[in-house]
Amino acid sequence: MKFSILLFSLTSLSACLALSLSHAGEDSVGLTNDSVLETYPTKLQEWMDAKFGLFIHWGPSSVAGVEIGWARASHPFDHPGKLELIPDAEYDALYKQFNPVDFDADALVRTAKAAGMKYLVFTAKHHDGFSNWATELSDYNIMNTPYGRDICRELADAVHKHGLKLGWYYSTRDWSHPDYLVGDNSAYNDYYHGQIRELLTNYGPVDVLWFDHVAGKWSDYRFEELFEMIYDLQPEILVNNRAAKFVMRHQAGTPPPELLELTKGDFETPEGKIGKFQVDYPWETCMPMSKGPDGHGGWSYRPEAITASFEECVKMLAACVTGGGNMLLNIGPMPSGNVRPEELENLKSLEAWMETYGESIHGTRAGPYISGQWGGACHKGDVVYLHVFEWVDGQLSLPALQRKVLGCEALGGESVSFTQTADTLTLRLRESKIRSLRSTVKQAERSLHRVIKLTLEPGEPMALIPVEGHVAKKQHDSLVNPMGE
Ligand code: GLC
């Protein structure tokens, strides 16, 4: 036994062979044996294959360079917020100056596609109640701005033309609508159901409906009717978990179980944070690429916001993917219609990154290693990709894989070697690289993230493998109830 382990470790101690083995199977599931996701419907599998989407928060608030929705002084039925800056009348008049003449939906979608994004979610209506499309149901809409062009239409057409998937963000909250949560809320239900009907009828296939949380009580809403309409109009649509999020607040007792089930969503939505490692319920981190200097908001264009570095963007994406989730990375276009230069630069840099590393993102599933500070793993067929964030002297030791490693390479061309024993898989970056990692902290920080591709011998599905003290935690929606509960 000892001899065979020794022999095994010696024979597999190999400098990295840039093996170009074709995948034993193109299907992304099957390497791990504990994923209930394998049983999920095609539409959800496709959404999970996509991994990366572009979120766009945009509207007249960009004219004043303030946070969309929250910068309006009044937030009926919600907490006052920390970002209110503008009296209601002033905020509600910003649309009269909204004229993003430089907006080019086609160029933006092409940029997103080149950056490896497979879907786009746009704020059709945010909490402020402004509609970015030619709604028949309210005058407070894009057609009554100096711009006068249906932004939802332009984005939907570009998305369909370039083969991405389309998502509408729709805020059920509406702080400027006179009927919102008035009386039995039936007038408002009619209104917002009508708006959803427009969005799901007039813009071709819609793949995702991305609600935001909402105030009120269960009896204020007609969710059965809403969901029946949604699936009637777009049978393949995915709905996130926020259609009824926080509806409990004004109602004592247990929420109606059938409504909880109906509105629980196809995927969870940790916000501004990387979700926990979770492979038994789909999730998507929504993440602003630029954040307000006070750490609040940053969803929409604010001149003083601070944009994440390209390295951070890539690391966040890798952390989501190896944790079992998607990432919806947000930009807030400027009032001119241009993308903020720092955000555009990140998107452009992603294009080159994807050419080399995209295979370790798209169509993968998390595991077999459980992710942690060290990095994480994902797989496709019999190939495991390790996104490693931490190396100790250019080395990383992980618990053994139950299958033989046939090949190992670092994407991007750098060379690594590996040793596989019965207990451990050890990876070593080439000496010269280790020296350069040590050379300056700054450089090391920038260059630590490596993607290692391991080609495994075909075999039985594996169990998930915990690493060191990193325990798998149950995913929770890290969104904080804005009502403070
Ligand atoms: C929060 C904010 C909202 C933003 C959303 C994105 O719900 O209230 O402004 O659109 O997060 O997840």
Q: Which CATH number does the domain housing residue 217 bear? A: 3.20.20.80
Could you tell me if 329 and 383 lie in one domain? no
Handedness of CA 386, 388, 393, 396 (dihedral sign): negative
Residue type, 365: R
| Distance from C-alpha of 212 to C-alpha of 296, rounded to nearest angstrom | 17
| DSSP 8-state symbol, 378 | E
- Please report the beta strands in 118-274, taking only residues with DSSP state E, as ranges in sequence order: 119-125, 165-170, 208-211, 238-239
Q: Is residue 226 part of a domain?
A: yes
Could you tell me if 330 and 373 lie in one domain? no
Q: Is residue 82 part of a domain?
A: yes
Q: Is residue 485 part of a domain?
A: no
Could you tell me if 322 and 453 lie in one domain? no
Compute, in angstroms, the gap from residue 123 CA to the centroid of ligand 1. Answer: 10
The last residue of a domain, from among 339, 360, 381: 360
Predicted pLDDT of residue 445: 44
Alpha helices (runs of H) in 307-466, residue ranges in sequence order: 310-323, 341-357, 431-439, 441-447
Could you tell me if 332 and 295 lie in one domain? yes
- Of 287, 413, 433, nearest to 355 by C-alpha is 413
Q: Is residue 237 part of a domain?
A: yes
Could you tell me if 345 and 382 lie in one domain? no
Say yes or no: CB of residue 78 within 6 Å of ligand 1.
Answer: no
Q: Is residue 279 part of a domain?
A: yes
Could you tell me if 113 and 139 lie in one domain? yes
Could you tell me if 72 and 113 lie in one domain? yes
Compute, in angstroms, the gap from residue 170 CA to the centroid of ligand 1. Answer: 10
The last residue of a domain, from among 360, 383, 406: 360
Could you tell me if 285 and 427 lie in one domain? no
Could you tell me if 380 and 335 lie in one domain? no
Provide the number of structural domains found in the chain: 2
Q: Is residue 70 part of a domain?
A: yes
Which residues lie closer than 8 Å to 275 by C-beta, 6 or more apart? 268, 283, 284, 285, 320, 323, 324, 325, 475, 478
Q: Token digits for 186? A: 């039936």
Say yes or no: CB of residue 288 within 6 Å of ligand 1.
Answer: no
- Segments forming the whole domain that contains residue 94: 2-360
pLDDT averaged over 10-residue windows placed end to end, the chain, 485 residues: 30 30 40 74 95 98 96 88 85 98 98 98 98 98 98 98 98 97 97 98 98 92 97 98 83 81 95 91 96 87 95 95 97 98 97 97 96 92 95 91 95 91 93 51 58 95 80 41 33
Could you tell me if 384 and 257 lie in one domain? no
**342 within 8 A of 411, measured Cβ to Cβ:** no
Could you tell me if 183 and 309 lie in one domain? yes
Compute, in angstroms, the gap from residue 373 CA to the centroid of ligand 1. Answer: 27
Closest atom of ligand 1 to 169 CA is 10
| Distance from C-alpha of 302 to C-alpha of 51, rounded to nearest angstrom | 27
Q: Is residue 262 part of a domain?
A: yes
Predicted pLDDT of residue 484: 33
Say yes or no: CB of residue 212 within 6 Å of ligand 1.
Answer: yes
Predicted pLDDT of residue 414: 83
Say yes or no: CB of residue 318 within 6 Å of ligand 1.
Answer: no
For helices 341-357 and 105-114, what crossing angle results, to 10°?
Answer: 40
CB atoms within 10 A of CB 335: 22
Closest atom of ligand 1 to 482 CA is 8
The last residue of a domain, from among 360, 383, 402: 360
Could you tell me if 167 and 293 lie in one domain? yes
> To which H or E segment does residue 9 belong?
helix 2-12
Predicted pLDDT of residue 431: 59
Say yes or no: CB of residue 67 within 6 Å of ligand 1.
Answer: no
